[in-house]
Structure 1
């Protein structure tokens, strides 16, 4: 099986990308590597092979970047597409777990993600096991176990770490490129996959370790993106994604629901 690892990156995450590259060279030296830079201008620091997808009016074009990366991986002969967030370090068993779980049917495969605390940076993949503590919001089966998702699990799909075949990717149609900036495109992709007849599976052993970076809860810096992208999703599905964040903003008086829409109060 020929596997590709597709990663989106910007200058703000260049250090994380470099560490990820080091780990990939160790744990998956034969994988096709596709990096998509999302900044306004190409940067030679990403290497001559990096693809470039500049921002749109709404911010970084994550959906378009993943679509561009997938097209490149498929053109280079990939049988399995693994999408790995730039903050994520691959566990030594990640690729083998995804490859072993892939049946060739229409399915999305998602592995557990561990969020590393501030100041904790494993120096090599050999140290990965000592830090595993999968995020509790999503299933984390035992190594070697492939757990079918429930119908409700489709709302939990995220793009930090997932895999699918080119055939499944084509059936889904990729990410919807109206989504720009923060949020919404993952949920939309999951719902689209569900309606395309795909199955969602949680893959034990396909661990990724998410490198620390500062965050805010709720993510105030992304408020406008969340409202805009949430509105796009509502137009497409009749449901608002990211309601946990939107309701947190509402609790602080920053947004309100009026005339069927979430809006800023000021």
Structure 2
């Protein structure tokens, strides 16, 4: 077996072969040499040509393709397949339709190297809107033949910004200064230590509808002592994708209620009760909880 890669890119997907192809194409252009990372595509039961789209890149990427039968929404299980199969110390999660700046993987690795102990790294994801649909103006601003230039123009013009900019404007970019950084651990593009992911049990496969499985994992990582860090230079952009907004919002709320039953801690109760429009008030409210009611990270 060849030397272990430095990171593993895990991409769950379902019936988005064209978006997957764009994501994989961006991975062929990474500054990190192709023999230093691996890609695991996990197909959640697609009926389109996803398998062909993935295998098309076998000659340019160290890529493995897994397929699980379509038994409904099982993105948590799909990502867990990737975590189990990873040969590297760091897992980088991304979604089909997320296009990575050529420096993205290098920046993820730099943040992990600079962080003592296990880390979770949050990048900057252009086109990530509050609706969850990806920012309707992104596609017309992208030149797929000059992805880096397109992202840098979005940055210069402050267009299609990551919705989490509202969080950073309010709390700053040092995530060690907020009590619940896991609130914005969203796996459209994020990374964490493989050993720590396995130690906390990976994604909870009881999440069978959209929303919440990533912050649930982030909560457990944080309680296990993972250091959360934001790297603005780990840039990516998400292409628009179709989603039923009302159904997604209702699903997200149901999954938060599941988390309250699962953990029974004041901090999760607070998150579940918070109106959607006040989502970024959460860390301020957590900081205001009486000390005796704040969650014990070692619990």
TM over 0.5: yes
192 and 147 in structure 1: CA distance in 2 versus 1, 3 angstrom threshold: closer
Root-mean-square deviation (CA, aligned residues, Å) is: 2.9
Q: Are 1:10 and 2:14 matched, yes or no?
A: yes
2:147 is matched with which residue: 116, 119, 125? 125
Contact 1:114 1:210 in 2 (8 A): yes
Q: Distance in 1 between matches of 2:222 and 2:83?
A: 19
Contact 1:104 1:165 in 2 (8 A): no
Contact 2:17 2:48 in 1 (8 A): no
1:60 is matched with which residue: 70, 73, 88? 73
Q: Distance in 2 between matches of 1:147 and 1:227?
A: 25
Q: Are 1:205 and 2:236 matched, yes or no?
A: no
Secondary structure at the residue paired with 2:162? coil
Q: Are 1:45 and 2:60 matched, yes or no?
A: no
Deviation of 1:104 (Å): 6.1
Q: Deviations over 1:204-241 (max 9, x none)?
A: 2111111123456xx21235533542332111123254
Q: Distance in 1 between matches of 2:154 and 2:14?
A: 26
2:215 is matched with which residue: 179, 187, 199? 187
2:39 is matched with which residue: 33, 41, 46? 33
What are structure 2's unaligned runs of at least 5 residues? 56-63, 128-134, 279-299
207 and 179 in structure 1: CA distance in 2 versus 1, 3 angstrom threshold: same
Contact 1:36 1:52 in 2 (8 A): yes
Match of 1:137 in 2: 164
152 and 228 in structure 1: CA distance in 2 versus 1, 3 angstrom threshold: closer
202 and 22 in structure 1: CA distance in 2 versus 1, 3 angstrom threshold: same
149 and 109 in structure 1: CA distance in 2 versus 1, 3 angstrom threshold: farther
Aligned residues: 237
Deviation of 1:61 (Å): 0.7
1:105 is matched with which residue: 101, 110, 117? 117
Structure with greater helix share of residues: 2
Secondary structure at the residue paired with 1:92? coil
